[in-house]
Amino acid sequence: MGRKRTLRIRINPRKPERGSIRRAARIIMDGGIVGFPTETVYGLGANALDAKAVGKIFTAKDRPFDDPLIVHVCRMGQVYGLVKKVTLDAKVLMEKFWPGALTIILEKSPLVPQVTTAGLSSVAIRMPSHKIARMLIEEAKVPIAAPSANTFGKPSPTNAQHVLDDLDGKIDCVIDGGDASIGVESTVIDMTGTVPVVLRPGGISVEEISKAIGKVRVHHAVGKNAGKRNAEKLKKFTAKSPGMKYRHYAPRAEVILVEGRPARVMEKIGKLVKENRSKKIGLLLADSEKNAIPGLELMHGDVMVEYLGGGAQNAAKNLFRSLRKFDTEKVGLVIAQGIAEKGMGLAVMNRLRRAAGRVVRV
């Protein structure tokens, strides 16, 4: 007898039908796990207050149990039962950026099971802006713990098919609500210390947060230290946010990230293509800059090009889709062009550095 397939429920994200969402919510209420769309990426949700249900998320994703989950809520009032105290700065951020792509870490209340927070005394919470996600939480009548709905370590899913490519038969249901609008995960900020610390850049920029509450520190694991070598070093430390300890977001192919001055970057990419002509190569370029790579048109071999599009927001939206496309086309080596780290560019570069087996700076 074959493995049970995952139920796929298609819902119009602009006009969600509550009856269909209620069907998925019942699965959550009964201790099951459901893939669902958010504005950032697709999440894999379970009742955040049910330790057994949350454990199913880790099993389905093959996720280490020391990697904490984010708890999703649909209204402000839910937060107060999940935490010991909402700080003044946290309240300012909630009022300004919720619902939206910002996750806030506060000291947790005893109501939240240890498995949800990976044994930490803190809990990460956000209120998504996606209509389907909010309605699912409302109908389930519980906060929903949800990491990205993919096999651990792979590129995050930005549509329902990505979820099924990884998890079909391993989860109960996926709600198909079209493509995620942002394309990278939420920003995570730790509000438990004296100075707020950004642990993961994402859909809300560090600049926007600083403008709202003043001084903000960026964790040393976020920027240029986010590569493979530092991920190995960080395995022994306690992560308060998902996306900090392990290699993440990686396609099956080796990824080489080239960053630096644009002309030098394109020259180096050309050399790397020439050196690896025996492999099927995927080029991940910031914009339509294929012609800026010296001698590329004269090189023999199989070269596939994906463009992230102009600007950091387009790059974020297209990043995981492009990496997954390389997997579909069985690319053997991905060579990626770095982008400027302003605004959401920091989130894009964080993901690329964590995906990369090698980072070249020129």
Q: Per the confidence metrics, is the pTM higher than 0.75?
A: yes
**Structure confidence by residue, pLDDT tens digits, 265-311:** 999 999 999 999 889 999 999 987 666 787 666 555 688 999 998 89
| Location of structure tokens 């093959």 | 62
Whole-number pLDDT of residue 177: 98
Which residues, including other chains, have CB under 8 Å from residue 7's CB and lie 6 or more apart? 172, 173, 174
Give me the amino acid identity at 98.
W
Taking alpha carbons only, the member of 92, 129, 124, 130 closest to residue 108 is 124
181 annotated ligand-binding residue = no
DSSP string, 65-112: TTSPPEEE-SSHHHHHHHBS---HHHHHHHHHH-SSSEEEEEEBPTTS
Range of weakest confidence among 158-167, 188-197, 228-237, 345-354: 228-237
Q: What is the CA radius of gyration of the chain?
A: 20
Whole-number pLDDT of residue 287: 83
Per-chain mean pLDDT for the chain: 92
Quick one: pLDDT band at residue 242, thresholds 50, 70, 90? confident
DSSP 3-state of 21: helix
146 annotated ligand-binding residue = yes
pLDDT of residue 227 exceeding 70, the answer is no
Which residues, including other chains, have CB under 8 Å from residue 108's CB and lie 6 or more apart? 82, 83, 84, 117, 120, 121, 122, 123
Quick one: pLDDT band at residue 224, thresholds 50, 70, 90? confident
Whole-number pLDDT of residue 1: 38
Whole-number pLDDT of residue 221: 86
210 annotated ligand-binding residue = no
Region 135-151 average pLDDT? 98
Taking alpha carbons only, the member of 57, 148, 70 closest to residue 104 is 70
Higher pLDDT, residue 221 or 162? 162
**Structure confidence by residue, pLDDT tens digits, 38-65:** 999 999 999 999 999 999 999 999 999 9
Taking alpha carbons only, the member of 227, 214, 219, 149 closest to residue 189 is 219
**pLDDT > 90: what percent of the chain?**
83
**Structure confidence by residue, pLDDT tens digits, 171-222:** 999 999 999 999 999 999 999 999 999 999 999 999 999 999 999 999 988 8
pLDDT of residue 228 exceeding 70, the answer is no
72 annotated ligand-binding residue = yes
**Structure confidence by residue, pLDDT tens digits, 308-344:** 988 999 999 999 999 999 999 999 999 999 999 999 9
40 annotated ligand-binding residue = yes
126 annotated ligand-binding residue = yes
307 annotated ligand-binding residue = no
Whole-number pLDDT of residue 240: 83
Quick one: pLDDT band at residue 19, thresholds 50, 70, 90? very high
Whole-number pLDDT of residue 223: 76
CB 300 within 8 A of CB 279: no
| E strand or H helix at 231 | helix 228-234
pLDDT of residue 230 exceeding 90, the answer is no
122 annotated ligand-binding residue = no
Whole-number pLDDT of residue 87: 95
**Structure confidence by residue, pLDDT tens digits, 78-104:** 999 999 999 999 999 999 999 999 999
**Structure confidence by residue, pLDDT tens digits, 245-263:** 667 889 999 999 999 998 8
Whole-number pLDDT of residue 253: 95
Whole-number pLDDT of residue 160: 98
Domains in the chain with CATH codes? 7-234 (3.90.870.10), 254-361 (3.40.50.11030)
